[in-house]
Amino acid sequence: MPLLGRDVVLVDAVRSPFGRAKPDGLYAHTRADDISVAVVRELLHRHPSVVPDRIGDVAIAATTQDGDQGLTLGRTVGILAGLPRAVPGYAIDRMCAGAMTAVTNVAAQIAVGAIDVAVAGGVEHMGRHQLGAGADVNPRFVAERLVAADALVMGATAENLHDRYPRLTRARADSYAEASQRKYAQALADGHITGDLVPVAVPDPERGWGLATADEPPRPETTVAAMATLPTPFRPGGRVTAATSSPLTDGATAALLMDAETAESLHLQPRMTLVSYAYAGVDPEVMGVGPVPATHRALELAGLTMDDIGAIEINEAFAVQVLAFLDAFDIDDDDERVNPYGGAIAVGHPLAASGVRLMSQLARRFAERPEVRYGMTTMCVGLGQGGTVIWENPHHDASTRVGAADSRQEEVTR
């Protein structure tokens, strides 16, 4: 049953190839809004039955809303993508959960009948706009001890998680990070990645125009042995390294959402159906635990337990943050439900764009795993938040079963 009125479905989700945020990176000479325009155009091109006039809103997120990431992105990207002037749009900032919030915001609009169709996504050009660049942080945060000084440094909050939970060792983090790289490389080889990628034209002042077609951040040669030699930049003698952190990344994502009846009338096959979502706040000093209370709340709203969840896509801001989530729900580090195609440690984390990347990967897994009925996308958020969205698989085959709850029921039946 939908939480609010109408069923909301995700018809499709796409993304640009992700680039490294550096002077010679994939998008070093490309505007952030142009990357976003490319994915929105492709999203609509893939679904010609969606008449642009029917789009009720465009929500595009960015964490650093400045320069080519400013000026109400949803509106400007919509116009640049060729949408009718009558289609409104707006910008969103919930840091890392920007695109996730864009999706849940428009989903709420659709659920209550305010609109029928929407585009939601995010973009981040970290090569041009570093996290916190230009921000004037109120000195009261530290002066009045509202948060610790290191709460504003994401890597330091990851070190704090290691401190708070001794079971979250560097060895575990290194092992998890190596697995993320390995799983992404295998998923790429098996064809699980490229289907959602949108080629983006990229200029270069020396070589002319080129085409971005593949992710730049992955390092498939990464090994645990090599990681052990890396420095810990956030604390002398610490445990967080570049290898166990998501790299600074440029990229954009976009999703097409509508109510189920509209999708049926347009002869569109939904990739996922939204079940519930929740956001929660935690101490900024340990922002990585944010997905835990958000997930508890989303499960409660859906009337489900973690045993019902057959597929989990969690953003890998830091390996230790993922491990904290897994321990909280008594999930093994190598549980096959979790990020089987790798995650942000390998592919990158263009902040506000990442939420829809999680959704596109979950949707692909749903299509390949009809035995899975429910899945979730979840992520931590800077300054102490977490967000979780629970989805249902429209391809679910009730004759198959998956998950711990099903296994227990089978044993009882025997």
Residues designated catalytic: 96, 349, 380
d(CA 158, CA 166): 13
C-alpha–C-alpha distance, residues 393 and 298, integer Å: 17
Partners of 254 in the β-ladder: 14, 121
The tokens 């944010």 sit on which residue? 290
Per-residue exposure over 367-398, b if at least 16 CB sit within 10 Å of its own CB, e if not:
eebbbbbbbbbbbbbbbbbbbbbbbbbbbbee
Would you tell me how many other CB atoms lie within 10 Å of the CB of residue 194?
13
Cα–Cα distance list, 33 to 27, 39, 76, 128, 158 (Å): 11, 10, 8, 12, 30
Residues 6+ apart with CB under 8 A from 297: 278, 280, 388
Q: Whole-angstrom Cα distance, residue 60 to residue 221? A: 34
- DSSP letter assigned to residue 173: H
Whole-angstrom distance, CA of residue 299 vs CA of residue 278 = 9
How many residues are there in the chain? Answer: 414
